[in-house]
C-alpha cells in the first residue's frame, strides 16, 4: 500500500469541501480527479522531473502525456461558459480541481490553471469575439498550453504593487493603424519558448502570450493594456529556459524580447478606459494568487499524507510514531493549517461569485482577500513541508519519498505574483488603503522612459 491508497475521511473531497460553497456534482468531479491523481500522477511524480538524473525527454513526455489525459477529463474547459462549448463550472469548482491536481503535482495544476486564467480574462472583458476564436482549441480533443507575461527586469513586485500604479511597466504598445507595435522585455514568463517546445504527440501547441503592456508608462493605470500575442509573432525571441530549484519542466520560464512585434488591435483584451488595470490587478494578479492558494493546499495535503504514512510505520518504543503525543500534535497542527487554508480560499472564491455583495475582483478589498488566501496557504505549505521533513528525518530528505520535491515546488508558488511580502502589503491596502509611495514622482524623473 502506498501513502495515497490509505483513506482518511477528513481529507476526502466528500468531507473537506464545504457544501455551503459547492454542489454534490462538484464534489463528485473532485472525487474523480482525486482517483485519477492517485492512479496516474502519484506513481509518475518523479518522471515529471525526468527522474533523479533529470532526463529532459522523459520529463517533457510525461508532462505532455499526463496533461493530455487531464484535458481529456475536461478540466481545462471547466470555466469556459457553456455557450462556447465549455463546462461553465463555477470558480469554486475550478479551485477544487486546482487543489486535487496539485496534490499530485503542482506543476501540472499550474499548467491546467493557465487555460482557466486566460479564459477568465476574456470572460471578464466580455470578449465574445476572442472567446469564439479560442474556444474550438480549448474544447477540442487536442491539448494546448498558454502563458501570461507580466514580470519585467525592473522588478516583478514593482509591477504588482498598486502603489506604483503600473508606472514601472516598460513593455510599450504603440497604436499604429489597425495594429499595436510592441517593444519590450519580459523575464520569467512560462510556459514560454520556441513553438517546437510545445509540439509533441500529446501536445498540439501554444495559444500564445497574454502580455501586460502599457501605451505610455506616464499614464499609469490609464495606460495599462492586456494584449494577446500569438506564439509565432514576428519579432518575438526567447532566451534559453532558466535553470531553477523546482518546476523544472512543468513551467519552462524564459526571457521574451519584443522587437516591433505587430498584433491587430482586437487582440487588446481590455476595451474601456481603466479596464486594463482592473484586469491586471484583479484577474492576472488577484485570481492568480487565489489559484495559488488552492494549489498550495493540495500540495500540503499530499505532504501530510506522506508523513501520516511514515509515522504509522516508524515505531518509537513499540508504538507507531503517530500515536506518540508529540508527533500526534504535529500532525494535528498540519491538519489545522491545511483545513483553515482550504476553508479560507473557498470562502474567498465564493465571494468572487457574488460581486454584488463583495465588489469586483479588482477592488482593493478583494485583492486583499486573495492575498490573504495565498499568503496563509504559503505559510501552511512551509509549516507542513518543514515539520513533515523533520518528522521523517533522512527519509524526508531522500528523493525516493517525494517530500523534497513538494518542498522545492511550494516555495515559488508562495513567491510569484509579488510574493509573501506584497501579499501582506496588499492586505493593508485593502484594510486602510489604497496608499501610494511618497517620493515616486521624484524617482520617476530620474528614469528614462522607453519610447
Ligand X SMILES: Cc1cc2nc3c(=O)[nH]c(=O)nc-3n(C[C@H](O)[C@H](O)[C@H](O)COP(=O)(O)OP(=O)(O)OC[C@H]3O[C@@H](n4cnc5c(N)ncnc54)[C@H](O)[C@@H]3O)c2cc1C
Strand partners, 320: 315
Position among 104, 109, 113, 189 found at the interface with ligand X (CB under 6 A): 189
Of 3-11, 62-70, 320-328, 419-427, the segment contacting ligand X by CB under 6 A is 419-427
Near ligand X by CB under 6 A, which window of 91-99, 200-208, 247-255, 382-390? Answer: 247-255
Q: For ligand X, which residue of 48, 115, 138, 148 counts as binding (CB under 6 A)? A: 148
Integer Cα distance of 450 and 171 in angstroms: 8
DSSP state of 393: T
Cis peptide before 386 (omega within 30 of 0): no
Quote the least distance from Cβ 273 to ligand X, whole Å: 24
Nearer to ligand X, 188 or 406 (CB): 188
If the CB atoms of residues 90 and 183 are measured against ligand X, the closer one turns out to be 183
Q: According to the binding rule CB under 6 A, does residue 416 interact with ligand X?
A: yes
Q: Is 150 in the site for ligand X (CB under 6 A)?
A: yes
- Range 18-24, long-range pairs (CB < 8 A, 24+ positions): 18/343, 18/346, 20/350, 21/92, 21/346, 21/347, 21/349, 21/350, 22/90, 22/92, 22/93, 22/96, 22/346
Contact by Cβ (8 Å): 210, 118: yes
Among 425, 427, 429, 430, the residue binding ligand X under the rule CB under 6 A is: 425
Number of residues interacting with ligand X: please give it, by CB under 6 A. Answer: 26
- Exactly one of 76, 253, 309, 387 binds ligand X (CB under 6 A); that residue is 253
Given 412, 414, 427, 430, the residue binding ligand X (CB under 6 A): 412
Q: Which of 68, 87, 139, 157 binds ligand X (CB under 6 A)?
A: 157
d(CA 93, CA 89): 6
**Using the rule CB under 6 A, is 255 a contact of ligand X?**
no
Who's near 382: CB < 8 A, 6+ residues apart? 410, 414
Q: Which is nearer to ligand X, 67 or 416 (CB)?
A: 416
Q: How far apart are CA 312 and CA 335, in angstroms?
A: 16
- Which residue from 236, 419, 429, 430 is in contact with ligand X, where contact means CB under 6 A? 419
By CB under 6 A, tell whether 151 contacts ligand X. Answer: yes
HEC secondary structure over 174-221: EEECCEEEEEEEECCCCCCCCHHHHCECCECEEEEEEEEEECCHHHHH
Stretch that binds ligand X, among 42-50, 126-134, 381-389, 412-420 (CB under 6 A): 412-420
36, 121, 188, 210: residue in contact with ligand X (rule CB under 6 A): 188
Q: What does the alpha-carbon distance between residue 189 and residue 103 come to, in Å, rounded to a whole number? A: 23
- C-alpha grid cell for residue 39? 492512479
Binding residue (CB under 6 A) for ligand X from 247, 249, 337, 344: 247
**Which one of residues 175, 421, 434, 447 is an interface residue with ligand X (CB under 6 A)?**
421
Distance in angstroms (rounded) separating the CA atoms of residues 395 and 191: 32
Which helix (DSSP H) or strand (DSSP E) does residue 174 occupy? strand 172-176
Stretch that binds ligand X, among 156-164, 268-276, 315-323, 329-337 (CB under 6 A): 156-164
Distance separating alpha carbons of residues 183 and 213, to the nearest angstrom: 9
Span interacting with ligand X, options 34-42, 167-175, 311-319, 409-417, rule CB under 6 A: 409-417
Ramachandran region, residue 255 (left: φ > 0; alpha: ψ -120 to 50; beta: rest)? beta
Asked if 249 is part of the footprint of ligand X (rule: CB under 6 A), the reply reads: no
In the chain, helix, strand, coil percent, each to 5? 60, 10, 30
| Stretch of 39-47, 57-65, 175-183, 420-428 contacting ligand X, by CB under 6 A | 420-428
User: For binding to ligand X (CB under 6 A), which residues are involved?
Assistant: 148-151, 155-158, 160-161, 188-190, 244, 247, 251, 253, 412, 415-419, 421-422, 425
Amino acid at each position: 500500500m502506498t501513502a495515497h491508497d490509505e483513506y482518511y475521511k477528513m481529507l476526502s473531497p466528500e468531507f473537506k469541501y464545504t457544501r455551503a460553497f459547492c454542489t454534490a456534482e462538484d464534489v463528485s468531479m473532485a472525487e474523480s480527479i482525486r482517483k485519477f491523481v492517485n492512479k496516474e500522477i502519484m506513481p509518475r511524480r518523479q518522471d515529471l522531473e525526468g527522474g533523479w538524473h533529470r532526463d529532459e525527454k522523459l520529463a517533457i513526455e510525461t508532462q505532455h502525456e499526463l496533461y493530455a489525459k487531464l484535458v481529456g477529463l475536461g478540466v481545462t474547459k471547466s470555466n469556459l461558459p457553456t455557450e462556447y462549448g465549455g463546462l461553465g463550472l463555477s470558480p469554486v469548482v475550478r479551485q477544487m480541481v486546482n487543489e486535487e491536481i496539485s496534490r499530485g503535482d503542482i506543476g501540472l495544476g499550474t499548467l491546467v490553471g493557465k487555460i482557466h486564467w486566460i479564459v477568465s480574462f476574456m470572460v471578464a472583458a466580455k470578449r465574445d469575439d476572442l472567446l469564439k476564436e479560442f474556444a474550438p482549441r480549448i474544447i477540442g480533443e487536442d491539448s494546448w498550453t498558454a502563458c501570461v507575461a507580466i514580470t519585467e527586469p525592473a522588478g516583478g513586485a514593482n509591477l504588482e504593487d498598486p502603489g506604483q500604479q503600473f508606472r514601472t511597466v516598460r513593455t510599450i504598445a504603440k497604436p499604429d493603424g489597425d495594429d499595436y507595435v510592441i517593444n519590450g522585455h519580459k523575464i520569467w514568463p512560462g510556459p514560454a519558448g520556441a513553438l517546437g517546445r510545445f509540439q509533441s504527440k500529446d501536445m498540439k501547441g501554444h495559444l500564445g502570450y497574454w502580455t501586460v503592456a502599457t501605451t505610455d508608462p506616464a499614464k499609469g493605470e490609464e495606460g495599462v493594456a492586456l494584449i494577446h500575442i500569438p506564439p509565432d509573432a514576428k519579432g518575438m525571441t526567447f532566451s534559453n529556459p532558466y535553470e531553477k530549484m523546482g518546476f523544472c519542466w512543468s513551467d519552462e520560464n524564459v526571457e521574451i524580447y519584443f522587437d516591433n512585434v505587430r498584433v491587430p488591435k482586437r487582440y487588446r483584451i481590455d476595451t474601456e478606459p481603466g479596464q486594463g488595470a482592473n484586469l491586471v490587478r484583479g484577474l492576472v494578479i488577484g485570481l492568480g494568487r487565489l489559484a495559488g492558494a488552492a494549489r498550495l493546499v493540495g500540495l500540503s495535503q499530499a505532504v501530510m499524507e506522506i508523513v501520516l504514512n511514515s509515522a504509522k510505520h516508524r515505531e518509537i518504543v513499540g508504538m507507531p510514531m503517530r500515536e506518540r503525543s508529540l508527533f500526534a500534535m504535529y500532525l494535528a497542527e498540519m491538519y489545522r493549517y491545511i483545513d483553515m487554508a482550504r476553508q479560507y480560499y473557498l470562502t474567498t472564491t465564493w465571494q468572487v461569485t457574488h460581486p454584488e455583495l463583495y465588489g469586483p475582483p479588482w477592488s482593493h478589498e478583494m485583492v486583499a482577500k486573495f492575498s490573504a488566501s495565498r499568503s496563509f496557504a504559503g505559510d501552511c505549505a512551509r509549516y507542513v513541508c518543514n515539520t513533515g521533513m523533520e518528522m521523517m528525518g533522512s527519509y524526508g530528505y531522500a528523493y525516493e519519498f517525494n517530500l523534497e520535491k513538494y518542498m522545492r515546488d511550494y516555495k515559488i508558488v508562495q513567491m510569484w505574483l509579488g510574493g509573501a511580502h506584497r501579499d501582506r502589503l496588499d492586505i493593508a491596502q485593502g484594510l486602510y488603503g489604497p496608499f501610494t509611495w511618497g517620493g515616486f514622482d521624484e524617482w520617476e524623473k530620474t528614469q528614462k522612459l522607453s519610447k
